[in-house]
Structure 1
Amino acid sequence: MSEEILTLSCLEQADLIRQKKLSPVELVQACLARIERYDPLLRAWISIDAAGALAQARRAETEIIQGRYRGPLHGLPYGVKDQMHALGLPTTLGTRVLNEEEMIAPCNAAVIEKLQQAGAILLGKQNLHEFGKGGTLEFAYGQPRNPWNPDYSASSSSTGSGIATAAGMCSFSIGEDTGGSIRGPAAFNGVVGLRPTFGRVSRHGAVMAGYTTDVLGPLCRRVADAAQVLSAIAGHDPRDLLSSRRQDTAFLPRPGQSLKGVKLGIVREIAYNDSTSDEVKTAFDAAVGVLKQQGAEVVVLSLPLTLYAVPLLLLSLDADVAAWFVSKYLRDRYDRFDAGTRTRLAAAALIPATVYNRAMRGRVLARRQLLDAFEQVDLLICPTTPTAPKLIEQMQERLDTGDDAVARLMERRIGLYPFSLANVPALSVPMGLSRQGLPLALQFAARPFAEQQLLQAADIYENATPWHTLQPDLAHTLAGRTTQEKR
């Protein structure tokens, strides 16, 4: 089987499977071979269930041959961020803190249940920043690396999910987004990442410490793939007390549409922030030009409270997370945490209740301003991240001065946190390449539960640009690294 099949979209692979031109068994075998070849360098995966995946693939193949085709995800292999429980696989959370018995999965996550019903095939669990919270310095299961250039960061914290999808190790992945942990890895790895509306996808069976903000969502190679996966995993679940009762699951973009009549708002404070590099500004301006060519009206909006999204979330969300860990592990197992994680959690545990209360009130004001913007425009747009991926050591949050802390915190989060704070759907899509040949990304955001409109606009942009056709050259990447090691 040609390796090119591994870089096709989900829907392209699904069409071949439906026509019986591609066997789910062959596809799973090819993914496992690709993981074996490239993952020792890229470290996208923590655990692989090869035997289980092949058994699922044989079952899918038999069902399809017998005419029991379940739909576009039937026979497609996927992975999940190791923050979701899967029976038979450990839930490591990317940490050395847990004991072996504490990693035993008590159930399948709701998203895995739904994907099983759709006929998708779980390959295994993907690497992440410790406990899914970002800032990890030394990874318990190996340093994740960008498939476009392994010396560069693959972002945080659904890192393995972005790498595996971009590298063709699976058809799609399921990540988790608190403050950008789906959209950041999607941006840095050159794939599509969707943060659904809070409550759209059940979080049952996933470890969620940031309970006011955490969501699960897909990372895929095309926008339509993300829509298809969302259709499979969305819906009310009484086991998740914060699950929305909305039952709409029709998210697929309609072909042949334009953006005529659609009004887009550029968020000035995000798109033209002091952190935004010149090459990102240039790529973003070019993307805006494409959107206008597709018929969109584009205006610039000022949402000054978005600048406070980063400190407001850090003061409230980090305190929520720290409260969960202090009673469980932070006191007794402090030395087993990664230094970056424990420093962040220990600092957050000291936030006074009065400060937390004021931050939560501030979040309401910032969210209200962002939601009010949708009275003026249909969608908001900005770069997903203000810079291209940087070298791994440059992305690590080692802070020397107060000014350095502010600059780093804002740079990594300013494009992501405002939409997390507002709990609105947001999607990252490829926007070009940097001078170093690394991905750049455009972000769309919509009012709550407007995923179909969001995906439609992003699909139109994607089809009007060539960026989704670009793939990392893994063979060249591996050959270059091997040559360096020999030297």
Structure 2
Amino acid sequence: MAATELHYLTALEQAALIRDRKISPVDLAEASLARIESSDNQLNAWTQVDPEQTLAAATAAEQEISAGHYRGPLHGLTFGVKDQMHTDGFKTTLATRVLNEDEMEAGEQATIISRLRASGAILLGKQNLHEFGKGGTIDFPYGQPRNPWNLKHTASSSSSGSGIAPAAGHCSFSIGEDTGGSVRGPASCNGIVGLRPTHGLVSRHGGVMYAYTSDTFGPMARTVADTAAVLQAIAGHDPRDPISLRHPVPDYSSQLDGGIKGLRFAVVRELAQGEGTDPEVRAAFDTAVDTLRDAGATVEEISLPLAKWAVPLQLLSADADVAAQFLAQFLRDRYDRFDVGTRTRLAASSLIPATVYSRAMRARTLVREQVLAATRQYDALLTPTNVTPPKLIEASQEKVGGNHDVVSRLIERRICHYPFSLANVPAMSVPCGFARNGGVPIALQIAGRPLSEPLLFRIGHAYQQLTDWHRQHPDLGGITAAA
């Protein structure tokens, strides 16, 4: 099979070919490496790639499978991880100039990496991100991440490379990290699926975590079914993560074909119809909702009036958590080594008084309870993932000339993400269209009650069986020809 055909197959399609020995893990690894080599000089999805390590792991996987030891659907697939997870064989750069070389040496390998490697998946390398995963970066040490659908547009923050890579056919899947939307945003902007799991479902041990109450790792792939297969490998209790849940891990693919007839969904008015919602996003979202309704679901509209406060509350709490750590570690002594966008946000957050922080933490519970109450009444909540299509890169960068501009832009970018982050419920982004201006992706967000991932996968998979957005891929011919 030609590499041009192979790299855009779904992860499970690639897995079936490996299982049936129609291709080998080495074939897939070589196709992934060739794809990265030919296009990443423009896309900047990766901070580190190790071809030698990749091919050694692929050869070992091929030998295992040939000997009859097939580990399951991830065996021989290629993946990348956001460069904030400690990984044997790679540095942890956090895409920053603040750290000295010796401070980038990886600590104990993240549980999520160990589990994926144990499943037979092959790690290609580490993926680009906004500095320290905080968003707002202007000057990227490893290059400006670019949207594969249109290089002039943003790939979103902060798991930028983790969104670009599956969309561009660099790898079978990625692992990102989501505090306030950093899996869902890049998934939306790059036209792939991204899941923020229930908080505590996936171990964070071995990751560089700053917002303890919100951070979680999540899978990113080209389809809902692929995403379910990855979650199967990474979910489960880990005693080394204090917030890790002891809930038994179900079969995440078991409900995929259950259909949605008779399910009840709610469109969140404040998140779907706000003044900042782009008309093209609204039209694509409405069409997606109609598709679900036509498939037999009941769709109603609800109000979550406290949802609009989620972004400022997250900034007053999670950003303050982050700033407190950086103030002690780096902000005082290495201020000039931070990107200007990062240090401005951190410096502002470090000035939040303890009394304001305390009130914000209490107010978060009000938003959380309102979201949880809605998830108890409905099978899923529906919103756009982002209220605007991916912006031009120069228009997406945070301006620091006025407080109102920075805050208003942060609210616009994260308004649909933060309510579910504060509630610590699962939320998944699924492609649902393209903007005429720029040809960049638009996405639907599906959120549910805690531990409802099997149901979210069922809904998302049903939608993908009725649409073909996930079967469309960016044309990188011009990039690869110029490489």
> TM class, shorter-chain normalised?
over 0.9
Amino acid at match of 1:276: T
Paired residues of 1:426 and 1:443 also in contact (CA < 8 A): yes
Displacement after TM superposition at 1:375 (Å): 2.6
Closer, same or farther: CA 99–182 of 1 in aligned 2, 3 Å: same
Residue 28 of structure 1: aligned partner: 29
Paired residues of 2:6 and 2:31 also in contact (CA < 8 A): no
Q: What does 1:162-177 align with in structure 2 at a 5 Å threshold?
A: 162-177=163-178
- Could you tell me which runs of 5 or more consecutive residues in structure 1 were left unpaired when the two chains were aligned: 483-487
Q: What does 1:105-254 align with in structure 2 at a 5 Å threshold?
A: 105-254=106-255
Q: How many aligned residue pairs are there?
A: 481
Paired residues of 2:399 and 2:405 also in contact (CA < 8 A): no
Distance (whole Å) between structure 1 residues aligned to residue 52 and residue 341 of structure 2: 36
1:197 is paired with a residue of what secondary structure? coil
Distance (whole Å) between structure 1 residues aligned to residue 309 and residue 107 of structure 2: 39
Distance (whole Å) between structure 2 residues aligned to residue 342 and residue 407 of structure 1: 18
Displacement after TM superposition at 1:50 (Å): 1.0
Displacement after TM superposition at 1:378 (Å): 1.1
Q: How far does the alpha carbon of each residue in 1:341-385 deviate from its partner, in whole angstroms, 9 at most, with x for none? A: 001001101100000000000000010001001232110000000
Amino acid at match of 2:96: T
Q: How far does the alpha carbon of each residue in 1:203-226 deviate from its partner, in whole angstroms, 9 at most, with x for none? A: 000000111000001110000111
1:7 is paired with a residue of what secondary structure? coil
Distance (whole Å) between structure 2 residues aligned to residue 255 and residue 409 of structure 1: 35
Distance (whole Å) between structure 2 residues aligned to residue 403 and residue 109 of structure 1: 38
Paired residues of 2:257 and 2:461 also in contact (CA < 8 A): no
Q: What does 1:446-485 align with in structure 2 at a 5 Å threshold?
A: 446-478=448-480
Residue 368 of structure 1: aligned partner: 369
RMSD: 1.1
Displacement after TM superposition at 1:254 (Å): 3.3
2:342 is paired with a residue of what secondary structure? helix
Q: How far does the alpha carbon of each residue in 1:390-434 deviate from its partner, in whole angstroms, 9 at most, with x for none? A: 100100010444543343122101011111111100000001010
2:370 is paired with a residue of what secondary structure? helix
Distance (whole Å) between structure 1 residues aligned to residue 301 and residue 41 of structure 2: 45
Residue 485 of structure 1: aligned partner: none
Q: How far does the alpha carbon of each residue in 1:36-69 deviate from its partner, in whole angstroms, 9 at most, with x for none? A: 1100110000001111111110010011111100
1:343 is paired with a residue of what secondary structure? helix
Amino acid at match of 1:296: A
Paired residues of 2:154 and 2:390 also in contact (CA < 8 A): yes
Moved more, 393-402 or 86-95: 393-402
Q: Aligned pair 1:285/2:279, yes or no?
A: no
Q: What does 1:45-60 align with in structure 2 at a 5 Å threshold?
A: 45-60=46-61
Distance (whole Å) between structure 2 residues aligned to residue 429 and residue 414 of structure 1: 17
Paired residues of 1:129 and 1:158 also in contact (CA < 8 A): yes
Q: What does 1:29-108 align with in structure 2 at a 5 Å threshold?
A: 29-108=30-109
Closer, same or farther: CA 100–431 of 1 in aligned 2, 3 Å: same
| 2:442 aligned to which of 435, 440, 443 | 440
Distance (whole Å) between structure 1 residues aligned to residue 135 and residue 223 of structure 2: 25
Displacement after TM superposition at 1:279 (Å): 0.6
Amino acid at match of 2:433: G
Q: How far does the alpha carbon of each residue in 1:458-481 deviate from its partner, in whole angstroms, 9 at most, with x for none? A: 1101111110110000113555x7
Paired residues of 2:38 and 2:479 also in contact (CA < 8 A): no
Distance (whole Å) between structure 2 residues aligned to residue 472 and residue 331 of structure 1: 43
Amino acid at match of 1:369: Q
Closer, same or farther: CA 283–349 of 1 in aligned 2, 3 Å: same
- Could you tell me which runs of 5 or more consecutive residues in structure 2 were left unpaired when the two chains were aligned: none
Amino acid at match of 1:57: A
Q: Normalised by the size of structure 1, how large is the TM-score?
A: 0.97
Distance (whole Å) between structure 2 residues aligned to residue 142 and residue 182 of structure 1: 20
Amino acid at match of 1:175: G
Distance (whole Å) between structure 2 residues aligned to residue 359 and residue 158 of structure 1: 26
Distance (whole Å) between structure 1 residues aligned to residue 256 and residue 17 of structure 2: 20
Residue 322 of structure 1: aligned partner: 323
Distance (whole Å) between structure 2 residues aligned to residue 195 and residue 457 of structure 1: 15
Displacement after TM superposition at 1:229 (Å): 0.4
1:89 is paired with a residue of what secondary structure? coil
Paired residues of 1:227 and 1:253 also in contact (CA < 8 A): no
2:283 is paired with a residue of what secondary structure? helix
Distance (whole Å) between structure 2 residues aligned to residue 242 and residue 446 of structure 1: 20
Displacement after TM superposition at 1:257 (Å): 2.8
Paired residues of 1:275 and 1:410 also in contact (CA < 8 A): no
Q: Normalised by the size of structure 2, how large is the TM-score?
A: 0.98
Moved more, 34-43 or 370-379: 370-379
2:7 is paired with a residue of what secondary structure? helix
